[in-house]
Amino acid sequence: MKKLGNIVKRIAPGLFFLFLILLWESVVRLFSLPTYLLPAPSLILQTLIQRFPVLLTHLQVTLYEAVVGLSAAVVVAMILAAAMNRFILVKRLFYPLFVVSQTIPIIALAPLMMIWFGFGTFPKILIVILVCFFPIVISMTEGLEAVDEDLIDLMKVMGATDSRIFFSVKLPSALPSIFAGMRISATYSVMGAVIGEWLGANLGLGVFMIRAMNSYNTPSLFAAIVLVVLLSIGMFKMVDGAAWFLMPWNRSRSLLEKN
């Protein structure tokens, strides 16, 4: 019975999602909704297959911007978080600026990136960095501050240097918090790349979506949205895989929770 319950828990979300798709298909067919207003899932799938070669070209550009931007955001965020943890003055100077920066809509900053750096790939990557670094730097800062003080005192008694304490105690203890922020940023990375492409680019899923919208080609627009969703899920899973690899002590805990 326990195994049956576990199987039901695993397939229930998929079945519910399938139900929603079938409901969507039924409503479109029942009320004969026009294609430009709401295409049926079957038409979206057909459009996705037919236009996949074109979509793949745009997908590669968006994927590159998202991966490079997220990677750079992780590096920048970890350096800043480590500096704020080590030097209290750095935290007092930069932490408020990070918070204030999040009150400015990225859609307002993106045009400035285009004016300053042109319409190439670089400003899109900068937009992704701006979108992604905040959850990581905040999560890592909080994670480093939540480390058990007894462990730090023990390392000091044993004569460990500050750098040894950081890499042996603080960083491993903060990894769950770091990856929690990275999971959020992973989904934001695709959004940031698409927003940058909306404002000016030659290739990318954002460009494809704008062209589809301007021509009222709603099935193609939905097809691009499907790829954006799949790409975001893929980025999330990539971070999950990195967390599984770098935190082996969490694997047994995850298995126990599943069972």
| Token pair belonging to 74 | 């992780």
Give me the mean pLDDT over the 12-20 stretch. Answer: 84
Q: Is the pLDDT of residue 16 over 70?
A: yes
Q: What is the pLDDT of residues 112-135, one digit of tens each?
A: 888 888 878 888 999 999 889 889
Residue range 246-250: mean pLDDT, rounded: 77
* Count of CB atoms situated within 10 Å of the CB of 145: 14
Specify the residue for token string 């969507």.
Answer: 24
1: pLDDT strictly greater than 90: no
Q: Is the pLDDT of residue 234 over 70?
A: yes
60 contacts: CB under 8 Å, gap ≥ 6: none
pLDDT of 6 reads: 64
| pLDDT tens, residue by residue, 182-223 | 999 998 899 989 988 888 778 889 999 999 888 889 999 999
Which of the two residues, 73 and 147, has the higher pLDDT score? 73
Mean pLDDT, the chain, rounded, equals: 86
Query: pLDDT tens digits for 183-194?
Result: 999 988 999 899
Q: CA dist 104 to 97, 101, 109, 129, 174, Å?
A: 11, 6, 7, 15, 28
pLDDT of residue 248: 78
- The domains found in the chain, sorted by start residue, are 40-249 (1.10.3720.10)
Torsion angle in degrees (nearest 10) through CA of 210, 119, 205, 16: -90
Q: For residue 251, what pLDDT is reported?
A: 64
**190 in Cβ contact with 232 (< 8 Å):** yes
Cα distance between residue 86 and residue 70, in whole Å? 24
Residue 95 clears pLDDT 80, i.e. is over it: yes
DSSP code string of the chain:
-HHHHHHHHHHHHHHHHHHHHHHHHHHHHHHT--TTT---HHHHHHHHHHTHHHHHHHHHHHHHHHHHHHHHHHHHHHHHHHHHHH-HHHHHHHHHHHHHHTTS-HHHHHHHHHHHH-SSHHHHHHHHHHHHHHHHHHHHHHHHHTS-HHHHHHHHHTT--HHHHIIIIIHHHHHHHHHHHHHHHHHHHHHHHHHHHHHS-SSSHHHHHHHHHHTT-HHHHHHHHHHHHHHHHHHHHHHHHHHHHH-GGGHHHHHHHH-
pLDDT (tens digit per residue) in 25-41: 899 888 888 888 889 89
